[in-house]
Amino acid sequence: MNHSLSQDVNNAINAFDGAKVAHAGCMLRLNDISEAISRCTKERDQAQEQSKEAETNWRTRFRNLRGEMTEELKNEHSQRISQMELAKEFADLINDLELEQKTEMLGCARTAKKLLGAHKHAFVTYAEYQWSQALKNLSPSLIRAIKLKLHALSMATTLEAQSEYYIEPEKVVSGLIGNKLTEVAKQCQFDMEIEPVLEKIGLYYPSLVGVDMALMNSPIKQQQLCQELNEIKKQRQKK
């Protein structure tokens, strides 16, 4: 906890840290599953190719030997069946992994949404805290100048005050101050070497590489995918 900050800011930052950890964990599982699918797909394809090759070779030799089952031919038959079974095992495993992948993808979409929300909350909370702190420490010379400006503007004649173009002094000063401060703020550059809190939170939303953005931004798509996954799991339980 940073004791120089308010409790609200610390809580928001802690919540953001927690959201980052949760999302990172979900993405790690998703990436692991994707890598496993890629690896198993290569192994399945290789097993299928070897099975087809063994099938062709075995049938050719089987016919050439006119059905005489030599020990070598029996061994080749066992290897052929083994490759077929291995390819099927990989295919079944890929189906299971793809179901896990969709489940994790749904989870990552949800943790990503929470991460963006936690980032925004942390940033807004810190910005509001800094705003309130700055207002408590306004320059006395600025306050004096504002007071003088208000007084000068209030010295309008009765005719001027009744004009349709007359603007109340408070509104004039608010506009002048707002425009000037906004103009100066646009030129301001944050030096992250002296901004540990901003560096921790980040000026921009966290990167969401690998996240299905369409799924993340659509509660309807999330609900549909959830229903799809539940239906698949029910069907598999019946088998």
- For the chain, what are the domain ranges? 1-136+212-239, 138-208
**With 90 as the cut, is the pLDDT of residue 49 above it?**
no
Nearby residues of 225 by Cβ (< 8 Å), 6 or more positions away? 102, 105, 106, 215
163: region left, alpha or beta (phi > 0 left; psi from -120 to 50 alpha)? beta
**With 80 as the cut, is the pLDDT of residue 239 above it?**
no
Question: In this predicted model, what pLDDT tens digit does every residue of 19-28 receive, in sequence order?
Answer: 999 999 999 9
**Amino acid letter for position 103:** T
Nearby residues of 87 by Cβ (< 8 Å), 6 or more positions away? 44, 47, 48, 51
Task: Report residue 2's pLDDT band, with 50, 70 and 90 as the boundaries.
Answer: low
Question: In this predicted model, what pLDDT tens digit does every residue of 199-220 receive, in sequence order?
Answer: 999 999 999 999 999 999 999 9
DSSP per position, 10-36: HHHHHHHHHHHHHHHHHHHHHHHHHHH
d(CA 126, CA 194): 15
First-last CA distance in the chain: 53
Helix H, strand E, coil C: the string for 96-146 is HHHHHHHHHHHHHHHHHHHHHHHHHHHHHHHHHHHHHHHHHCCCHHHHHHH
- Residue 6 is given by DSSP the state -
Instruction: Give the DSSP H or E segment for 47.
Output: helix 7-64
Q: What mean pLDDT, rounded, does the chain reach?
A: 90
* Domain 1-136+212-239 grouped into CATH 1.25.40: no
Instruction: Give the DSSP H or E segment for 228.
Output: helix 219-238
Average pLDDT over residues 108-113: 97
**Amino acid letter for position 187:** Q
Distance of CA 123 to the CA centre of its chain: 17
Task: Report residue 65's pLDDT band, with 50, 70 and 90 as the boundaries.
Answer: low
Average pLDDT over residues 51-74: 72
d(CA 126, CA 9): 6
**With 90 as the cut, is the pLDDT of residue 86 above it?**
no
Tell me what pLDDT residue 114 has. Answer: 97
25: region left, alpha or beta (phi > 0 left; psi from -120 to 50 alpha)? alpha
Tell me what pLDDT residue 117 has. Answer: 97
**With 80 as the cut, is the pLDDT of residue 79 above it?**
no
Tell me what pLDDT residue 48 has. Answer: 85
How does 124-155 read in b/e, with b if 16+ C-beta sit within 10 Å? Answer: ebbeebeeeeeeeeeeeeeeeeeeeeeeebee
Tell me what pLDDT residue 156 has. Answer: 86
Question: In this predicted model, what pLDDT tens digit does every residue of 145-199 receive, in sequence order?
Answer: 999 999 999 998 888 888 888 999 999 999 999 999 999 999 999 999 999 999 9
**With 70 as the cut, is the pLDDT of residue 1 above it?**
no
